[in-house]
Structures are given as structure tokens and as C-alpha cells.
Structure 1
């Protein structure tokens, strides 16, 4: 019965979003991420340049705010050099591809009814769909399948008739580690986290 109620609630929320949807949009651009390997001083971390592609819907549009729900793909990861204490150095580029879902509240202020700078924040969940080149984790721990956190951002929108163009930047604040582990024989452990920024161009079409 509990699962049935949750299912009905989700269906009701979906219909509410669709019925009140006012702008459908797509966005795409660049993700910039860097892995943080705790207790791994031999790693020289570098940034990874990836991609970010989303589709979404803005709804409950009011004068100073609106809600926005989005789903898409984002690439996270990093690059690092492993220093073995001699002249020997090995390089690697771990990559994580996520299906990401978020809902934000966008606070905006219209200028001459065309330009609208905004800031936004809201919850997000990322599902790991692909990973590769995590050789440094072999024998230590498994990657987490799901990541929970917040998306914090801001940008600028420009309206032309029923079209909307924009530029936005977002920071992905994670509550979940990429991986963590404990070595039973020593009791020592470690963890991997990731810092991610995105810069996206957006285009939307106003339904109402």
C-alpha cells in the first residue's frame, strides 16, 4: 500500500508539472571536474574537461521565481599522474558518466522584460551509467552507483518572442563519495570525491 501511494504521488506530480509547464528547454556545454583522492599523496590530480547535456521544463512561473526540472547526461572524472618515488610516472584518466536529474527553484529579476539574470538551487540525484580507467581503485573498493547532492548556479536569460536563450554556470555539491574503502589488514582506508562545474548554453520554447 505504501509503494502504491508513492507511485500515485509521483504520477500526480508528473501531471502537475506537465500541465503547468511553461517553457521547454535543452541545454548543453562543458563540464569541468577534478577528483580528490584522500590519503593518496602519490597522486598528482588534474582537471578533466567533459560534456553536459540536459532537457527540461520550467513551470509554476511567477514574477520573481519559477521551478525547473531537468534530466540529462554529465561526465565527471579527472586526470592524475602516479609518482612512484623515482623517475617513473604513470598517467591515467578516470571517467564517470552519470544520468543526472534535478529540480531547482530559480530566483530571477527581469530587466526591460527581455533580460533576466537569475540564481538557482535545488536537489539532484546522479545514477552512474558508465565508468572506466579507475585502475587505482582495483582491490580497494567499488564505485558508488548513486550520488546525491545539490546543484547551485546562476546565469542570464534573454527572451525573443516565444524563444528563450541563456547562459548558465552550475556547481555540483555532492553528499555522496565516488568511492570509499577500508583495508581490513591495517584498518586504514580512503575515499574519492569529485568537484564538478558546468557551463551550458540553453535554448527554450515558451508553451504559454
Structure 2
């Protein structure tokens, strides 16, 4: 049984199906862990949010790192935002909701967004940072960390993710991924305690 079930909606089911089809297992599990961390953090600090929007954003947020959706001109998060807009249009979402989904995905690679301004972007930022580099991981109880990683194993996440970011940085030197690759971020990714759990 899932620790954090998907919302009961056609868009959520389709987002999972798309992620399963296009993302390698390590990336699929990262997306599912991101949703789990986001929901756990929201519950802990009592952040009201749109569960369907958060789930779809978590599942789609890194799909532009995959070959079918990689852009040779746009940073991957911007390409991912465009991909999410197309997905959401197919799901029947109106323009305003499509724009919100795009914003959440683009902002996950930007400066921190306060929860009271944009709860879904804030939650995805916290979740992705914890899963990738261990930032704010101490806010999640050890037993929860074990349960999430047991349910969605890492499967070589660190090496594959760092390789993907290095490729983005080489081809798009002005992007946010390049800035991270040129900092101490890769060392923090390699030192993430979640990798000791599986």
C-alpha cells in the first residue's frame, strides 16, 4: 500500500502513467519520494495545499531530463513547465490551472518560495531538496525516512541524477543546473544520508 496515496483523479492517474512510461526507475522513484516528502512536510507544519496539483507537479517535475523531452535551448525546468502545460491541457485543466502547474515545476529550481505565497511550490522545493541533497532532512523522522526509501528505493539515483545535471550544465552553461554543478552541491548530493538507507 502506498504511504501517500495519489489523489483520486484522472489527471493524477495519467501523471503516474506518463512518469512510469518515460522515466527510468530511479527517476520515477525520485518523483514518488518527492510527493511523499511534500505530503509529510505539509502534514507536519500544517500547510493547506491543492493535493492534485502537488501530485501532478511532483510526478512531472523532472521529465524534461529524459531524452524525449529534453530541450537543447531551455533549462530543463522551463522545458518541464511547457511539457506540464501540454499534459494539463490534455487532462482538461483550464489555462489558470495549467499556468499554476508550470509555475510549480519551474520554481522548484529557483529561490525559496514562502509557503504563504505559494504552498505547492514551497512544498515541492522542500521535498526535492531533501531527496536530492539532504537539505532539511532532519525535519523528517528517521522512521519516516526508512519507510519512504523502502517503498521507493534510490536505485542508483545519485550517480544518474548528477550525470544528468552535468550534461545540462555542459550544454546550457547559464542554467540553474550549471550553477549547482559548479558549487558544493554535488558533494552534498553524494553525502545525502538517504543513500545509506537504500
Q: What range describes the TM-score normalised by the shorter chain of this pair?
A: under 0.3
Q: Which has the higher helix share?
A: 2
TM-score normalised per structure 2: 0.23
Q: Which has the larger radius of gyration?
A: 1
